[in-house]
Amino acid sequence: MTSISTDLNPRKRLEDKNNFQRFILINRDGTSVERIILSVPDIQLREEIISNHFLSRYVHWFVKEDIGANLIGRDNPWDFEWELSNSENLNIEITSIAENEEQFRKRKYEERLATNLYKEEITLHELEKITFNFPNEILNEKIAFYKSVGTKSDDFVANPYFNRKGLIFTSRIDEKVNELDNIIKQAVQKKINKKHSNKENVTLIIDNRTVTYELNDLLRAFEKLDDYIAETPFKEIWFYTGYYSNNDGSNAEYSFSPLKISDEKLELLKTIVNL
């Protein structure tokens, strides 16, 4: 029987929701747990969704008035630079974490295939990439045929995955996955090592793409990292977990956990959530 994890899962029903993936973790004893995770194949779009979610929470928690937001910078050098009508500027940098590099890579492969399921035609190059990620002897023969008749890489060909229903991906998760605090620390350190200046005015968002860790694992990791996070140069650090969302950030469910914010903001948050 598959149970639904209540720690890191959405509370609302999924009938009218978009951009999510069901992940079922099957244990050795046959029991299984279902997780719902935000799934957006286009990394640029995923970052835009997360940025919009943060803006929404930031305004709701700390600004508490209707304001306008103008995007004045993208990847220059930080992922987003927002100018708010209350004269605030928000520099946002997003970094993703997964259990390990292999799991992160597999998830990207799955998302790449999923984004092509609704296309009747794809380029030969895209078909080659998908077939490389998910080996298929029949498709290898078809690719060889296309090339033999002079089909170019950017020519469109019939998509063998078009409108495929019930596609199930399977993979094995290494039992020796890294400790969550180490995974978070490595991701943060990579951003610290960037040679860009002005980190003291940057909000770092950690995009949680893990599926095996539960809420207690997160809390233990946050506690272990407390001293390290406090010494980082970033203005703020937030831990984001997304479940589903429209492309514009609406009709969404997600959570933000503060790892590094000012004492004033922390006290304000405590009053909001009645801690």
**Residue 51, in any domain of the structure:** yes
pLDDT digits (tens, 9 = 90+) for 126-168: 999 999 988 999 999 999 999 999 999 999 999 999 888 766 6
Give residue 111's pLDDT.
Answer: 76
Residue-number span of the structural domain to which 150 is assigned: 119-163
| pLDDT at residue 5 is higher than 60 | no
pLDDT reported for residue 1: 34
pLDDT score at 46: 96
15-35 per-position pLDDT tens digit: 999 999 888 888 788 888 889
| 59 neighbors 154 (Cβ within 8 angstroms) | no
Same domain assignment for residues 231 and 146: no
User: How would residue 70 be classed by pLDDT, with cut points 50, 70 and 90?
Assistant: very high
* Rounded Cα–Cα distance for residues 201 and 90 (Å): 8
Pick left, alpha or beta for residue 93 (phi over 0 → left; psi -120 to 50 → alpha; otherwise beta). Answer: beta
Residues 50 and 95 in one domain: yes
Residue ending a domain, choose from 133, 163, 193: 163
Global pTM value:
0.81
Classify residue 227: in a domain, yes or no: yes
pLDDT over 60 (residue 176): no
Q: Does 130 share its domain with 216? A: no
CA distance 259 to 151: 52
Asked if the bond preceding 77 is cis, omega within 30° of 0, the reply is: yes
Is the pLDDT at 217 greater than 80? The verdict is yes
In this predicted structure, the answer to whether residue 194 has a pLDDT above a threshold of 80 is: yes
- The total number of structural domains that make up the chain: 2
Q: What is the pLDDT of residue 170?
A: 64
Residue 137 and residue 267 in one domain: no
274: pLDDT strictly greater than 70: no
In a domain, 28, yes or no: no
192 within some domain? yes
